[in-house]
Structure 1
Amino acid sequence: MSARRQDPLRDPGFFADPYPTYDRLRAGCPVQRIPTGSGGHHAYLITGHSEAREAFTDPRLSKDTARFFADRPSNRDLHPAISRTMLTSDPPAHTRHRRVATPLFTTGRVRELRPYITRVVDDLMSTWRPGTRIDLVADLAVPLPVTVVCELLGVPEADRTTLAARSHDLFDATDTGITDAASHHIGTYLTDLVDTARATPGDGPLHSFLRDCEEGGLDRDESVSLAALLLVAGHETTTHFIGNAVLALLRHPEALDRLRRNPDLIPGALDELLRYDSPVSVATFRHSTADLRIGDVEIPAGHPILIAPGAANRDPATFPDPNHLNLDRDAGAHLAFGHGIHRCPGAPLARAEAEIALSALLTRFPDTHLTAPADSLPRHRSRLTRGLTTLPLSLA
């Protein structure tokens, strides 16, 4: 098979650095048909910013995966709690789920959580000392959001590390067997957790969450699926957000020095950090339910659609000199959290966690530096998310 006919989103070079691939594809056409996988299947990939925004809000693009695969054979074996979430549904089912999820992450609710997030960061950094080495991913970027979202769901501390590992497995692009097995581990665990809480009166975080689900009209299975989505999406992308942001700053010393000298600028820098290296590279599955036109391209009904926020956020038509990290840029139009009715409801929490973590790192260890070449750092092999598997630092 020629290189032209191969899936561009599965090339090893794409996982290491997707942006040259995105630039090449966008230059050819910001909406184009590409091969996906190895079974002769195709999808439409959207790499332009204006086209991505348009697609995110087009009601003819459905996220109901069950509807798409109803008459198509599939060899996947995902647990229902993972395969049937708010992310894989359309209104009105999506509306009911979102009505429960959104109040959990309002600006006011996140403001109340900030002292707890700060305590978690303090605890994680309590053993760090200048002159020692850490892995920012393992020592901060993973445990911080895992701890926070598990606390919100009432997941016991003893189970959190394993759940985090299985969540990472869900995004493995190399082995669907690993992904499917991880989905069953998480789905079964959360089903048991929810069933135990439903059978045992209490006032803990999980009981509060389940009352919200009941009041919102969600049944038991829907409550489990929402818990699964909050667990996975509530920490996976935030982990990558923190790791990507720290690496971006270390690779741009002027920007890093500016934030070190003026930590109050960190909240305003988050949009540009999200734009520059988005933790969501390609958004989750959509398909066309009718013939439609996006940009200058006609798309027939019944085709998969892949919207790439990672590509859209580097579109020079919207963000001049997009491959440069510019803290003075107005990057508020980035699509790292999506757009439209499926925009990530947990965005305020992710921003708060990243802000508090970056502020603590830069103020306590202002001269921290990499201990390995930036270009050699391994990345997760996933087309959906972009994140580091390790970020070795020397504290100073």
Structure 2
Amino acid sequence: MSESEFPLVQFLRNEMDPVAELARIRTEQPVFPLPMPDGSTVWLVTRYDDVRTVLGDHERFSNDFGNIVAVGSQQEDPGGLGFRDPPEHTRLRKMLTPEFTVRRLQRLEPRIRVIVEEHLDAIEKMGPPVDLVREFALPIPSLVVCELLGVPYQDRQEFLRFSADRFDFTAGPEASLQAINDSMAYLTELVGRERLAPGDGLLGTLIRQYGTEVTDRELASLADGMLTGGHDTSTSMLALGTLWLLRNPEQAALVRERDDHVDRVVEELLRYLTVVQVAFPRFARTDLVLAGQEITRGQMVLCSLAAANRDPALGPSMDTVLPDRETRSHLAFGHGIHRCVGAPLAQLELRIAFPALLRRFPDLRLAGEPAFRTLAIVYGLDELPVAW
């Protein structure tokens, strides 16, 4: 599929900002038709309130993977939470949710701090310049998620490839689906090993607690969701967030010097950057009307989280970062029953990593032009050269 054949507006950015065309669509036709090469129509939803409506309504909108593949397709269902409807979604999420409470994450916090400091030590030893994506933003989330799950450290490079390939549309949808299959094959093998000798990570915990109530396939798909969702998104937030802080030294100084300011900056950057540009696709369960637009049963609905989080209906100056703003809840982690279960872990990583980086290198600065991603569901940087 060529770029000219695929509607791209929901994936395009001008550095950190969604392209102006997306804002125009939000104003003029907030439920916008995207023509597909096969003649079908996908509806792009861009306003905050409409996106919340779709994401919060699992009665009228389905996430089930069966909506995506043709009948008789050999493509395996990736499972996990993102492609599941109740009651299966409810059952699996109920297993995961206790692992992301504040009390459980407190056990991980010391390890996260060690991981961050070890990478800062390595960067300091290298000396400037360094690529902060490769040396900081990329490895830290991978190690944190592997720590959470109990995945062997030596396998992380393989998972970096799985994650990058599935969210990179430049190679076409087939490459993304193949990356899902490769990931699931490995994780299914890993779950088999955990069945024999459950470890202390998430997989071992779920096996001890639920035993045969949860299948190997379900465990593998949950792990796959944690690895790809928890790795790629946090990498992008660390890289883009650091770039924004370097371009805004007054805010960087506040993050470095005031613990009480870090949380506000992190939440506002999550909204402003919205690295997951669109939510998992939804499919209309019945004919319906959304914001005056008729949608036919079975049609795909894509919710632009990036457009919704910049909606002027949320408040003034939504295209700027105002850490002290009072506004409604952002949609960077989604909304409704499919809101990211790992959101508390991602927030914890960012709250630890940003001040630690800025305190270790108070004169950190750009040492070249950052390389922004193109055509990716998860937006971010490929390179961030820095010096100090």
Same fold per superposition (TM over 0.5): yes
Asked if 2 retains the 8 angstrom alpha-carbon contact of 1:63 and 1:87, the reply is yes
Could you say what secondary structure the match of 1:128 adopts? helix
* Matches of 1:44 and 1:181, distance apart in 2: 26
- In structure 2, the residue matched to 1:41 is 40
1:29 aligns with 2:37: no
Counterpart Cα distance in 1 of 2:191 and 2:274: 33
2:315 counterpart (313, 319, 325): 319
Query: For 1:154 and 1:191, how far apart are their aligned partners in 2?
Result: 14
Q: 1:13 to 1:255 in 2, by over 3 A?
A: closer
CA gap of 1:5–1:140, structure 2 versus 1, over 3 A, is closer
Choose the corresponding residue for 2:219, options 212, 223, 236: 223
TM-score by length of 2: 0.91
Worse-matched range after superposition: 328-337 or 84-93: 328-337
> Structure 1 vs Structure 2: percent identity of aligned residues?
36
Name the CA distance, whole Å, in 2 between partners of 1:364 and 1:89.
43
1:326-363 residue CA offsets vs partner (Å, 9 max, x unmatched): 11112551100001100001000000001100010111
Match of 2:184 among 184, 187, 211: 187
Q: 1:187 to 1:380 in 2, by over 3 A?
A: farther
Residue matched to 2:257: 261
2:348 — aligned with what? Answer: 352
Which residue, 370, 376, 380 being the options, matches 1:387?
Answer: 380
Q: Please state how far the C-alpha of 1:262 moved relative to its aligned partner.
A: 2.2
**Aligned position for 2:93:** 98
Q: What TM-score do you get using the length of structure 1 for normalisation? A: 0.89
For structure 1, the 5+ residue unaligned runs are none
Counterpart AA for 1:386:
Y
Distance 1:14 1:299, change over 3 A: farther
Q: Are 1:127 and 2:126 counterparts?
A: no
The answer as to whether partners of 1:47 and 1:312 remain within 8 angstroms in 2 is yes
User: Between Structure 1 and Structure 2, how many residues are aligned?
Assistant: 382
Q: In 2, Cα distance between the equivalents of 1:24 and 1:128?
A: 43
- The C-alpha deviation readout for 1:257-309, integer Å capped at 9, x for no partner, is 33233243111221110111111101111100112222232222111000111
Aligned position for 1:20: 20
Once residues 213 and 286 of structure 1 are traced to their aligned partners in structure 2, the CA distance between those partners, rounded to angstroms, is 30
Contact 1:252 / 1:325 at 8 angstroms: preserved in 2?
no
User: What's the offset of the Cα at 1:381?
Assistant: 2.7
1:301 corresponds to which of 297, 305, 318: 297
Structure 1 residues 365 and 264, CA gap change in structure 2 (3 angstroms): farther
Q: Deviations over 1:370-393 (max 9, x none)?
A: 12235xx221531x2111111111
Shift of 1:29: 1.7
8 A Cα contact 2:12 2:374, kept in partner: no
SS of residue paired to 1:323: coil
Match of 2:103 in 1: 108
| Maintained 8 Å contact 2:32/2:43 | yes
User: Residue 99 of structure 1: CA displacement?
Assistant: 0.6
Q: Which residue of 2 aligns with 1:50?
A: 49
C-alpha separation in 2, matches of 1:191 and 1:14: 39
Structure 1 pair 12/358, CA: closer, same or farther in 2 (3 Å)? closer
Distance 1:223 1:172, change over 3 A: same
Corresponding residue number in structure 2 for 1:238:
234
User: For the structure 1 residues 99 and 13, does the alpha-carbon distance in structure 2 shift closer, same or farther, using more than 3 Å as the test?
Assistant: closer
- Indicate if the aligned counterparts of 1:79 and 1:187 stay in contact, CA closer than 8 A: no
